[in-house]
Amino acid sequence: MCLMAQVPQAFEIPPVLSASQVLPADQLQGPHHRVRDSAPSDGYMTHFTIDSDFGVFSCVGVRQVGQRIQEIAAISKLSQVSRSDLFAEGVKRSVEAPIDAVKNIVDDPAESVKRLPKTVGHLFGKVGNSIERTAKRVGRKMDGSDGEMSGQDWASAGRGVGNAAKSVAGYDKAKLDTARQLGVDPYSDNKRLQEEIDKVTWAFFAGGLPLRIGASVASGGSSIALTATKTVGLPEEIYDVTPSELAFRDREMMTAMGVSAQTIDAVFMNPALTISLRHSILKTLSKLPAGAGRVDVVESAASLEKQRGADFFNAALSQLAARHGLKPYVEVKLLGRLPGGLTSDGYLEIAAPVDYVSWTQEVAEFAHRDDLTGARKRLLITGKMSKAAASGFAAKNWQVVYTQ
């Protein structure tokens, strides 16, 4: 009778929350951004809108808010750098003497010669032509025939050359170093951030000048020295290893796990899995118990359709890895498309890095899964749960554990 009284009689409509109730005060507003107070929930995650000096950003979940705020601060810093005399000097050097710029970007001339069949055409084709066109434009500005170079002109020139040089030998490592200094994900889907990083990195890299932005980026009137490894839980090696090297490592990890070649190809072809998310998911999974469950998890990751889903999946695995470090799991499990871990005393723990859980029909269907009838089960959540949702899960014998 008491158990039945716990069961909600009606489903909830997810609430519209106030950002000030969910986010830390220092994230709500800064010198270059403001989070709108209205933050609707979808039953699991909270949706935020950030107005900034560099555009409007829509964020799903508290984690992404922190990531975007860090990126906004980074864009601001890069914009300041692109207005500096040193940036202008770097652009001048890279476009006045493109042959010298090419010399600057070859780390190993002997090794480059070995790769001539696949690198020379690109180097003297798209990249060379873009440098030449930009050089002519800047040349007209410099000799006064097309007016004086303004700060915007230098920024435009640097952006054009930077976009043309993304595949040049050595450029990847220079860009990774820029991202490390700013504390942002080098593979973020933030297009404005990527544009600014390319522009500034190329000007200094091709111009042969050192880029020292510093680890701290001004935000909210204070100095924060975070890295993407802390803000979004990414492995530290994303700053040390080039994309091609990461791809090699990821392929080796999946092969060692027993993942089929077909699934490995699907992982690499999935646009929802950015380089950083793909590597983070595999790196975290490698810390969990070996067995068929890891293959199931990789197959689930390969089928993810949206990046927000991949980000959630990555955060869920990170939750499990943290729990595994305290009390090791004996097996990795997959419940639907959610990763979980089986404890030595028979509990199936499902990771749910959510913000706020409401008792919706979808949530109720999950709590009432037929394949979990009679099972010992725990739900690991990072956020909060409504009273109705807590009652609903308790009625189906779920233990709810609130984690950081």
What would the pLDDT profile of 239-258 be if each residue is shown by its tens digit?
999 899 999 999 999 999 99
Note whether 49 and 157 are same-domain residues. Answer: no
Is the residue at 368 inside a domain?
A: no
pLDDT digits (tens, 9 = 90+) for 300-346: 999 998 999 999 999 999 999 999 988 899 999 988 888 999 999 99
Where among 186, 220, 236 does a domain terminate? 236
Note whether 135 and 91 are same-domain residues. Answer: yes
Is the residue at 282 inside a domain?
A: no
Q: Which is nearest to 105 in space by CA: 94, 117, 121?
A: 94
Note whether 231 and 101 are same-domain residues. Answer: yes
Q: Which residues contact 346 (CB under 8 A, 6 or more apart)?
A: 376
Is the residue at 385 inside a domain?
A: no
Is the residue at 323 inside a domain?
A: no
Position 229 scores a pLDDT of 57
Task: Among 8-22, 48-62, 100-114, name the most confident range.
Answer: 48-62
Note whether 101 and 48 are same-domain residues. Answer: no
Position 336 scores a pLDDT of 85
Position 110 scores a pLDDT of 43
Note whether 107 and 231 are same-domain residues. Answer: yes
Is the entire prediction scored with pTM above 0.85?
no
Position 62 scores a pLDDT of 93
Q: Is the pLDDT of residue 115 over 50?
A: no
Note whether 7 and 92 are same-domain residues. Answer: no
Is the residue at 41 inside a domain?
A: yes
Position 293 scores a pLDDT of 93
Note whether 230 and 120 are same-domain residues. Answer: yes
Which of 114 and 358 is assigned the larger pLDDT? 358
Q: Is the pLDDT of residue 152 over 50?
A: yes
Note whether 92 and 215 are same-domain residues. Answer: yes
Give me the mean pLDDT over the 58-83 stretch.
94
Note whether 106 and 19 are same-domain residues. Answer: no
pLDDT digits (tens, 9 = 90+) for 125-151: 233 343 344 444 444 544 555 555 555
pLDDT digits (tens, 9 = 90+) for 270-293: 999 999 999 999 999 999 999 999
Q: Is the pLDDT of residue 120 over 80?
A: no
pLDDT digits (tens, 9 = 90+) for 174-218: 999 999 999 999 999 999 999 999 999 988 988 888 888 854 433
Note whether 82 and 161 are same-domain residues. Answer: yes
Is the residue at 350 inside a domain?
A: no
Position 87 scores a pLDDT of 87
Is the residue at 69 inside a domain?
A: no
Other Cβ atoms closer than 10 A to 129: 11
pLDDT digits (tens, 9 = 90+) for 357-403: 999 999 999 999 888 888 899 999 999 999 999 999 999 999 999 98
Where among 36, 64, 92 does a domain terminate? 64
Note whether 90 and 53 are same-domain residues. Answer: no
Note whether 215 and 89 are same-domain residues. Answer: yes
Where among 18, 34, 64 does a domain terminate? 64
Is the residue at 403 inside a domain?
A: no
Q: Which residue range(s) make up the domain with 83?
A: 78-236
Q: Is the pLDDT of residue 118 over 60?
A: no
* Total structural domains within the chain: 2
